[in-house]
């Protein structure tokens, strides 16, 4: 009768562990037979219930006090967890509202994206790699989205080339509205663009006639600029003037086309920049040059234009390094295809195509075919029809390069340039070439390479071919 019964197993999960911890706690609660009796299935608890002695064969009754205590703790924990979640949500909403008011939507979105990237990196990458990715991404995003510090306009003067139309005319208007003293060069003082600037801008804007292929015009503009900015100094130079004469394969393009593009886009820009460097060094000013992605990537049929733009972009990178001790900052604008006045003028492209066909050597015309040139011209005109009509991204980039405390070395205004540069720098060469061809001008097989088509495929064929019979030229048809 005095033999002890084994303690009953508590059916509530965790209750048996709680019993064991209570028994093992030193000096905590009751000990000895009293404590054991309070946790056994019978004993004192049964006698207090008034039900009399229990049947030894009956299963032990569950310890309701332990079960109730465990469920109560869990309920309280659930309530606390839900309360904590609500508090966190309210804190997040408050922080979002404050961040939106103080930082603005772009920066707040960047911080949210950075938090999501942090969560993803912690689960997919090792700690050091996750930290490196997070730090690099955060620096790039915040440096691009943070509001840049702008310099005051005050009495700053700036020279802009090529203001007859397009980016130059739009930039001259905006800088004049901001309070700059603008010296705008044009090819013709009586052109529609020059008359528009004279009519809508303030008296601070001065129109100067200059042809970048004529050294006398350049010298006259340099002398006027030095005299006109003697008291205020010259803050900025915007090299905007440029030209693209022809769209054709490099073999089909005359050498004169390459020389003409280099004269305007490279040598003219070089001469103006060198002539104004003493003024820009004195003011620790800015040089902003409008280039093109065609100078970075081998676009088909833009060999002459792309070569000149590549040369001027490399020249500006060199100036950026050499003028750094003087405090002169150099920026290059690489815009997408925008619908300027030169792009809108479809008649000039048709006339240049006719001139190319009229002056093309007979051998090349027979090897490539007139339809090949017609196809290239049609593809190019279709690409121009898809150009962006709003010039403000380019104008804003030029303005930022002039006024930002820390301007960028490169600006890429326009849509689609990020994907284009990513493909160019990171994908294999075959994919890059295929993408450029499909993006700009799709490939078209020259006549001599088409199966079953007449064409000249060797020098012997050229020598034996008597040439076309006398008749009307292709341009007359």
Pairwise CA distance, residues 82 & 154, whole Å: 58
Residue 236's DSSP bridge partners are 158, 286
Contact between residue 239 and residue 273 where contact means Cβ atoms under 8 Å apart: yes
List, as one string, the DSSP characters of 316-375: HHHHHHHTGGGT-EEEEE----B--HHHH-HHHHHHHHHHHHHHS-HHHHHHH-HHHHHH
Pairwise CA distance, residues 296 & 318, whole Å: 16
Q: Which two tokens stand for residue 221?
A: 């503009």
Q: Which residue has 């939106």 as its token pair? A: 100
Torsion of CA 189, 193, 197, 198, to 10 degrees: 40
**CA end-to-end span of the chain, whole Å?**
127
**Burial class of residue 133, CB neighbours in 10 A (0-12, 13-18, 19+):** middle
Report the catalytic residues: 305
Contacts of 36 (CB under 8 A, 6+ apart): 4, 7
With left for phi above 0 and alpha for psi between -120 and 50, is residue 210 left, alpha or beta?
A: beta
> In 10 A of CB 166, how many CB atoms?
23
- What one-character DSSP code corresponds to residue 252? T
Rounded to 5 degrees, φ, ψ at 352 are -65, -35
Q: Which residue has 């408050």 as its token pair? A: 94
């Amino acid at each position: 009768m005095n033999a002890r019964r084994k303690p009953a197993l508590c059916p509530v999960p965790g209750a048996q562990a709680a019993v064991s911890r209570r028994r093992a706690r030193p000096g905590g609660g009751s000990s000895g037979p009293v404590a054991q009796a309070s946790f056994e299935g019978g004993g004192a608890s049964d006698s207090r219930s008034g039900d009399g002695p229990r049947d030894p064969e009956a299963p032990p009754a569950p310890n309701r006090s332990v079960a109730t205590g465990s469920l109560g703790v869990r309920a309280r924990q659930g309530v606390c967890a839900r309360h904590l979640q609500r508090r966190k949500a309210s804190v997040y909403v408050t922080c979002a509202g404050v961040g939106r008011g103080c930082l603005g939507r772009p920066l707040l979105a960047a911080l949210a994206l950075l938090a999501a990237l942090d969560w993803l990196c912690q689960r997919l990458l090792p700690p050091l790699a996750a930290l490196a990715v997070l730090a690099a991404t955060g620096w790039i995003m915040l440096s691009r989205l943070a509001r840049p510090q702008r310099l005051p306009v005050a009495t700053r003067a700036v020279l802009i080339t090529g203001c007859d139309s397009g980016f130059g005319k739009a930039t001259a208007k905006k800088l004049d509205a901001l309070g700059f003293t603008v010296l705008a060069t044009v090819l013709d003082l009586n052109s529609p663009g020059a008359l528009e600037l004279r009519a809508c801008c303030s008296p601070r804007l001065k129109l100067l006639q200059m042809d970048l292929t004529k050294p006398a015009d350049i010298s006259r503009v340099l002398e006027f600029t030095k005299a006109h900015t003697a008291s205020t100094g010259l803050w900025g130079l915007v090299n905007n003037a440029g030209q693209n004469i022809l769209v054709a394969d490099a073999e089909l393009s005359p050498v004169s086309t390459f020389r003409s593009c280099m004269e305007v886009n490279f040598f003219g820009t070089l001469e103006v920049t060198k002539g104004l460097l003493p003024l820009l060094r004195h003011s620790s000013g800015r040089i902003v040059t409008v280039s093109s992605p065609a100078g970075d990537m081998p676009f088909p049929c833009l060999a002459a234009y792309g070569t000149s733009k590549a040369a001027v972009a490399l020249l500006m990178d060199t100036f950026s390094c050499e003028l750094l001790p003087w405090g002169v900052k150099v920026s290059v604008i690489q815009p997408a295809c925008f619908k300027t006045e030169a792009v809108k003028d479809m008649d000039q492209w048709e006339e240049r195509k006719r001139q190319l066909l009229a002056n093309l050597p007979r051998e090349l015309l027979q090897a490539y075919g007139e339809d090949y040139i017609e196809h290239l011209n049609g593809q190019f005109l279709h690409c121009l029809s898809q150009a962006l009509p709003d010039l403000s991204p380019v104008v804003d980039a030029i303005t930022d390069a002039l006024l930002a405390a820390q301007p960028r070395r490169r600006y890429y205004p326009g849509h689609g340039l990020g994907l284009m540069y990513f493909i160019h720098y990171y994908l294999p060469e075959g994919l890059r070439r295929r993408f450029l061809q499909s993006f700009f001008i799709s490939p078209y097989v020259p006549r001599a390479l088409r199966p079953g088509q007449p064409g000249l495929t060797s020098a012997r064929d050229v020598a034996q071919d008597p040439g076309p019979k006398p008749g009307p030229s292709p341009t007359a048809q």
